[in-house]
Amino acid sequence: MTRVPLDASQRALAVGLVLSVTLVAFESTAVITALPTIAEALSGDSLYGATLAAYMLADLVALVWAGEQADLHGVRRPFLACIGIFVIGLVVAATAQSMTMVLIGRLLQGAGSGGFAPLSYIAVRRAFPVERQASMYAYLSAGWVLPSLLGPVIAGVVVDRAGWRWVFIGIAPLAAAVALLTARAMAHLAPSEVIIDRRPTRLHRAFQASAGVGILAAGLQNKHLLLAAPLCIAGIAIALPALRFMLPAGVFRARRGLPAIVAVRFLATATFLGVDSFVPLAADRLHGARPIVQGFVISGAAITWTIGQAVTARRVDRINPGRVSAMGFGFLLIGIATVAPVLSPSWPLPLVFATWAIGGFGMGILFNPTTVASMSYADDGREGEISSQIHLADSLGFGMMGVLGGSTVAFADRTSATLQSAVGVNFALAALCAVLGLAASRGVRARA
């Protein structure tokens, strides 16, 4: 297939989109590196998981809102709103005097950054020729390369030398610079003129789903059983109907086509976060590692994720997305099995860097083919809806595992249970998600 050259505006947009992803990646890797130190400094272990979940729950609402706004008004307006909220969240977290305020700051950061990914996908779909879109999705993933290599190191040095607050302060000016560059490149992207059977707004359902998952999280972390059980039941009862409305019909059965793709993305992100967010905690509490080392041990997975994306991007038009998804879950299972010895204080941390890199490669090879396959179902005028569904699955996977994993850490914090057992349960939950993902992969198909 002949590659159509990009004009100046397309090249500028490509640079802006990649920088936007890089910004979010730096923030994510830096905060995960610093979070164990923040929790220890503010006596906030009980809110460690909730802080992870808050970011994802806000992200859930933001991605739905951003997708709908992009279909109605173009991508520029919601992009500027998202980056403004993101900066406010950075300021709140940087000035926090308690873990609760850090949680609120992360909530605002999630509300801002949540729109970046769907808006980027929509911009690619509308601004670039079909034969260049798969490569653009890979370039967006490449925005994680430098943050994966340098983010944990920079964050560790900043925490050691200047304090954890500067992790948030240092990102704010970068966000302002990215806003100026990217918004200008987006100016020519108007909303789609083709509207096909537009569905009613799903924003209120997004709030309902986020609230339900939040109530479920409160129930799981409540130490009083008489309160915990009703909260969990209420959370599920509130969230489930909203998710059924927002996600493709048949997603809970992984029905062939888009529903299976969405199910696979949910299970993949849940698998990955079940390990990736708790390895730094184990490195801190079980191995006594410094912040720079805590970030280093998971950076290999982010690097190999990007390598896996690059491998599949070169031949995405010839890849069977279902088969590659199954391979990805296979690598994730190997990664979980080989990283589990980190629960032993005597296990060498450099080995964790190498073994969890296997899991990162699994995420990389399944991510781009499922992205391309999902966007094959996006008709003109519905790009925002489809892109928000796939990113909703990502956000739910991260959020739900943050909720469940955080509850195990909180339980260990207030009982005689050990941190090893809590993190071990999280690894087991991640492995279960990977096994379910293997089964769901059989239904992954792109639209002809």
| pLDDT single digits (tens) 48-71 | 777 877 887 888 888 888 878 887
Please report the pLDDT score of residue 196 as a whole number. 45
More confident residue, 37 or 306: 37
3-class DSSP assignment, residue 195? coil
If one counts every other C-beta atom within 10 angstroms of the C-beta of residue 227, the result is 12
Contact 120, 17 (CB under 8 A): yes
Q: What is the pTM of this model?
A: 0.76
Residue 142 burial class via C-beta count within 10 angstroms: exposed 0-12, middle 13-18, buried 19 and up:
middle
User: Does the domain formed by 8-189+247-443 have CATH 3.30.565.10?
Assistant: no
- Closest of 171, 206, 214 to residue 28, by C-alpha: 171
Phi-psi group of 195: left, alpha or beta (phi > 0 → left; psi -120 to 50 → alpha; rest → beta): beta
Burial annotation 326-349 (CB, 10 A radius, 16+ → b, else e)? bbbbbbbbbbbebbbebbeeebeb
Q: How many CB atoms lie within 10 A of CB 310?
A: 18
Average pLDDT of the chain is: 84
* pLDDT 10s digits, 142-201: 676 677 667 777 887 888 888 889 989 888 888 888 888 887 778 776 665 544 445 567
Residues, the chain = 448
Domain ranges of the chain: 8-189+247-443, 200-246
Phi, psi of 404 (to 5 degrees): -65, -45
- Range 182-192 burial, b when 16+ CB lie within 10 A, else e: bbebbeebebb
Question: Which runs of consecutive H residues, i.e. helices, occur in 74-115?
Answer: 76-94, 99-113
Q: Whose structure tokens read 């003129």?
A: 193
* pLDDT for 2 beyond 90: no
DSSP secondary structure letters along 263-318: HHHHHHHHHHHHHHTTHHHHHHHTT---HHHHHHHHHHHHHHHHHHHHHHHTTGGG
DSSP string covering 23-41 = HHHHHHHHHHHHHHHHHHH
Cα–Cα distance, 115 to 82 (Å, whole number): 6
**Secondary-structure percent of the chain, ordered helix, strand, coil, rounded to 5:** 80, 0, 20
29 pLDDT more than 50? yes
At 332, the pLDDT band (50, 70, 90 cuts) reads very high
Neighbours of 448 (CB within 10 A): 4
